[in-house]
Amino acid sequence: MVAVEGETVSILCSTQSNPDPILTIFKEKQILATVIYESELQLELPAVTPEDDGEYWCVAENQYGQRATTFNLSVEFAPVILLESHCAAARDTVQCLCVVKSNPEPSVAFELPSRNVTVNETEREFVYSERSGLLLTSILTLRGQAQAPPRVICTAHNVYGTKSLELPFQGAHRLMWAKIGPVGAVVAFAILIAIVCYITQTRRKKNVTESPSFSAGDNPPVLFSSDFRISGAPEKYESREVSTLE
């Protein structure tokens, strides 16, 4: 059975038995509908989506036995480009991954607007495609483009529509260092170290200036001890309590 996304699909499961059986409709081991002691069971799927695509089972069972039958529902829909699609640089190569969900299988093309070039699946030297279920994965490989990768737009098309997406470039920080080059990277690193050292020294000077041991405040107290003696001095100078001069 084939249906287009958005259509309503009715699934009828019927049997003849005596006594009437228990009827059940399954999809991927999940019970969708069931009736007891009835000869028919109808399941309606309003506005089908790609998630409704798959194999369905109709099972009839009574005390004398069980019978089952299967059928496939194929839901057709316009292409959808998934979010994991992207471009990435590796050494001197740029690879762009375009993952498309579609039924029927779409045609995929990669457009490079800045170069006015379009590459499709027929050019096997640049594009590799593989289909698994409803997913089509296409990989574009550009050699010698890591220093300045172009904008890449992935376009998928089938009889139900067309979808385009400009592929984001992952690892932009790596690309920046690739453009700077090894010499530029060393210079930038040296500048960074100099800035850190300057900030550290400035903070140290500030801490020393603000330290209490170097602040100009009141004169500290002076202590005189009673053990202090002046040779030949009168007795009144020989015994004196400890006092503090402020």
Domains of the chain: 2-77 (2.60.40.10), 82-170 (2.60.40.10)
- pLDDT above 60 for 75: yes
Q: Which one, of 11, 1, 8, lies nearest residue 40 by Cα? A: 11
Residue 61 buriedness (CB in 10 A; 0-12 / 13-18 / 19+):
middle
Rounded Cα–Cα distance for residues 98 and 154 (Å): 6
- pLDDT over 90, % of the chain: 57
C-alpha distance from residue 214 to each of 11, 204, 209 (Å): 91, 14, 7
- pLDDT above 70 for 192: no
pLDDT at 216 (0 to 100): 43
For the ranges 5-14, 129-138, 206-215, the lowest mean pLDDT is seen at 206-215
Rounded Cα–Cα distance for residues 233 and 145 (Å): 100
The H or E element spanning position 200 is helix 172-209
Rounded Cα–Cα distance for residues 91 and 206 (Å): 47
* Token pair belonging to 185: 């990277």
Confidence of residue 246 (pLDDT cuts 50, 70, 90): very low
pLDDT at 238 (0 to 100): 43
Rounded Cα–Cα distance for residues 37 and 19 (Å): 7
49 by DSSP, 3-state: which? coil
The mean pLDDT value for 177-200 works out to 53
* Token pair belonging to 133: 């279920």
The mean pLDDT value for 41-57 works out to 95
Rounded Cα–Cα distance for residues 208 and 196 (Å): 19
- pLDDT above 50 for 222: no
Greater confidence, 25 or 146?
Answer: 25
